[in-house]
Structure 1
């Protein structure tokens, strides 16, 4: 199983009795949904990027969180947090070949008080590192020479809101899009004028599409809960793109309720609809199918990715009536994600 190292509580910068700065937070190791904690013994190596030796924390079976307290050297202006997990022995784990996505933040200045959001960079050429059972670092690297997008994604630290976290199927979809750019763009997905993503969450997949399809208009949709975090990520990536002197303002967020009778964009302008990891809850199937019927017309392409968690989820796929153009499995760090390209 793939586990995410995440901030369980919002990081804070405090001043100790010696008037030194201290980074305080709580770290957790969970699956992407956040409903399963890693059960095993691992060492967490924490580096804040200021030239100090990494600090080692012990995560043991049964833990749900681990306290983090790191002194910050005087005159430090900014830090970045990098946390990796290392398994020293197979005897320390109960499951076969667990993988861990490291927590690596962008540098952030040292304010007083709370660091409410920490931005995590996802480089789609070199995905976040995982550690194998022998403790060595394993990174998938592609030999494709095409230019690769780099995304900066802010997750909401300390939030239980699922829309504010990155999910495995989204990461797998991004990797598939990048690794199959010529195939996906020219044969399967065409050259869409407008792309609409349903249930965008943090906006990871839609933002990747906005950089891969720079001539397309990309509309990221979700409930109001995702509005703030998604717009933050849009701004983070626009700023990042502008530094490279490329003007990419082809992406926007729009609130869209699947039970609504109105489309976020005129239906005849939508060429591609994207849905990733929105099929984990059977109670939402009627609403999702209604939304798909509202935003598609004859010829609209649908890109759907799903990570299986329960046998009941197969019911959704039985109810799909779209023509299948591709039905494949994407392996992303030991996670099997089903990916379909369909046509309405």
Structure 2
């Protein structure tokens, strides 16, 4: 899996005779360690800032592969072909046989620049870029990331793989035997509020995609303070499902939980791409234990693309802490893998854990398909927040099953 990135974001250059818009891109892995080894046909466009707006200029360019590290792009904008403001979009050229969107896991992730408007003196697009993904329900997830070198503010493969798996689970397109406890937590949002916390959220992709897909969902994104501005910008631009909300709270795993987290109940704890640094593994596990002390029935889902062997220490610490692994699976990544440090893994591991006080191990799809409560997505009805008779009966059945299992 690779990403188109701007090494130099778009900038307007003017001289006595011409006005040119220039940028430099690369096609690299999530950590930027290696580059796409094969030739690719790309399309660069200059288009309106409105979503699905007019395309003013476009051109085909070729990523040569064979050790290439960068690719310059130049547009002549001397003529009045562009209705400013505008943006640059760079993507893989789609063949006529392309049928469906790739969700959160395209083989090559395209990129949108920030806004340019040389008529008002804004000749540079800035260091912030945009990624767009489409859920199975057809809802666009628009996410900003930084174009610089900070991997903390870039998208990572594991987050996208987890976002896609959750999207498929919500829409009941995954086999029910894969991760039944995670499926139960997500589908139970049909008849009760779902409280989610994400640790080390980065750009916020997973938590935001959940809040855009499930109604009446409360998502708390957490990470170190330096990502605050980026995450809050992504929260502001999201299109939340009915009655759902997302907030950000700075959280350092090596410090005590903030007062607000000490009193918060959580149903689902998301940990995505947080196991790569051995020095933070014990503080991460300690934080999970603190959260479970307040929410003993919470389910933990961990997504990680294995970068190096030392990550295995996380799972040793989890077991030593008394947490129980309910299930795991491998999610294959599309496209060609990288061949350098931390790039060669071809899949992402998903692992579901719970504490000793959690007794429920049940998939709603163990019942007949007719009885499975449908998750209230942003496009569904049930806007009043009341249960239907089917939901009431289903909730009562679930409570009875829970009591039976617990006893």
Q: Sort the TM-score into its range (normalised by shorter chain).
A: 0.7 to 0.9
Offset from partner CA, 1:41-62 (integer Å, 9 cap, x none): 4443323343545232443433
Number of aligned residue pairs: 303
Q: 1:16 to 1:103 in 2, by over 3 A?
A: farther
RMSD: 2.7
SS in 2 for 1:84: strand
Alignment partner of 1:68 is 2:65: no
CA distance in 1, matches of 2:230, 2:247: 12
Task: For structure 1, list consecutive stretches of 5 or more residues without a partner in the other structure.
Answer: 87-98, 126-146
Q: Give 1:148 deviation, angstroms.
A: 4.3
Counterpart residue number, 2:376: none
Higher share of residues assigned strand = 1
Contact between 1:120 and 1:153, CA under 8 Å: does it hold in 2?
yes
Alignment of 1:148-227 (within 5 A): 148-157=138-147, 159-181=148-170, 182=172, 187-189=184-186, 190-191=188-189, 193-227=194-228
2:350 maps to which of 323, 339, 343: 339
| TM-score for the superposition, normalised by structure 2 | 0.67
The aligned runs of 1:52-63 (5 Å cut-off) are: 52-63=57-68
Per-residue CA deviation, residues 145-180 of structure 1 (Å, 9 max, x unaligned), is xx34321001112x1111211111111111101111
State the structure with bigger RCO (CA 8 A, min sep 6), 1 or 2: 2
After TM superposition, which residue ranges in structure 1, 4 or more long, deviate above 6 angstroms? Answer: none
Structure 2 stretches lacking a partner, 5+ long? 48-54, 94-105, 336-345, 356-407
Q: Normalization by structure 1: what TM-score?
A: 0.79
Match of 1:309 among 307, 310, 313: 307
Q: Aligned pair in 2 of structure 1 residues 267, 296: CA closer, same or farther (>3 Å)?
A: farther
Structure with the greater alpha carbon radius of gyration: 2
Q: Which residue of 2 aligns with 1:129?
A: none
Task: Using the TM superposition, name which of 325-334 and 299-308 deviates more.
Answer: 325-334
| Counterpart selection for 1:36 from 24, 34, 39 | 34
Once the two structures are TM-superposed, the CA of residue 319 in structure 1 deviates from its matched residue by 2.1
- Matched residue of 1:274: which SS? strand
